[in-house]
Amino acid sequence: MSLNAINSQTGDLPFDVTPYSVTIGGDVSGIDLRQPLSDEQVEGLRAALLDRKVLFFRDQDITTEQHLDFARNFGELEVHPFAPHKDGYPEVLAIHHNIDRPGQENGWHSDVTWRQEPSLGSILRCLECPPIGGDTLFSDSYAAYDNLPEAVREKVEGKYALHDFEGFRMRLRAKGVGEEKIAEFNETYPNPEHPVIRTHPETGRKGIYVNAAFTKHIIGMDQGESDALLEVLYHQANMPEYQCRFRWAKNSIAFWDNRACQHYAASDYWPHDRIVERVTVIGDVPYYREDGPVTNMDESPFRGRIKYQHSNPGPNLFKA
């Protein structure tokens, strides 16, 4: 089943994929990530990822080396310059929240859009999860774009926005990192300008590519107009119809396409521990192309207010 695939082959895969929601998310079964993947499995997973934007795997009791081996099937791995790494494994982010370090990723975002070449995808595995809570939500950026009011599309098509790692800069200062070192980071990671609407390099689909975590403003607009438009775009990720929600368990894995979705880590489990590790696959420079497939609204599964506001956005659309 798919409503977003371009030449989808998910019906002929060497494993099973069960859709998690209408357009996003898929539960994968029939693969053991402790074993090296065949070329057929790798290509099948890539096709499934392009179709479902995020894939979920259960009961995968793998080692760190196997985690890395799995990720390398899809590209080179990045080393995050600001986040804590697992000892001896610079490509592995060690994310541990507990009574002293509450979760703080509960905002919609796509990973590392402050890079010139942001992430292709992220692969997160759960080592320890709280007894309840700590879910991760994923939002389909294609569906968010396809159902934008026409008045918004006209304003943002072909525009670019500035991205910045400001949140990490603030944390560095809070840890006592000096301005000279921060200036080095600023030079190494200059603020990129990415398209507001990104064309996916493999599917040709368009998706919203701004997020409240890293986007600062739309180039060529005054701050007020930019802020108002960005609020509309950010709001699209909040629509439940475009989302799926994943409940973690030990040895669960999520593999998501940062080019096609955003995610939100619910921070509702304090004071319990939540321990996860993330490996990130390097992507390429985002671009925008005017043409490309778009969901026909007459065939879209989304109805009610979503369909109505597509052509009748109302007088309060651009209020910040």
Catalytic residues: 109, 111, 263, 278
Helix locations, the chain, DSSP H: 39-52, 64-72, 141-146, 150-156, 166-174, 179-188, 223-237, 305-311
What are φ and ψ of residue 293, in 5° steps?
A: -70, 140
Enumerate helices (H) and strands (E) in the chain, giving the number of each: 8, 16
CA atoms within 13 A on the CB side of 56: 22
Burial of 292 (0-12, 13-18, 19+ CB in 10 A): middle
Other C-beta atoms closer than 10 Å to the C-beta of 53 total 33
The residue type of 185 is F
In three-state secondary structure terms, 124 is strand
What is the spatial distance between Cα 103 and Cα 78, in angstroms, rounded to a whole number?
23
Rg, the chain, Cα only = 19
Cβ(253)–Cβ(31) below 8 Å: no
Q: Is 48 left (phi over 0), alpha (psi -120 to 50) or beta?
A: alpha
Q: At what angle do helices 179-188 and 166-174 cross, to 10 degrees?
A: 160
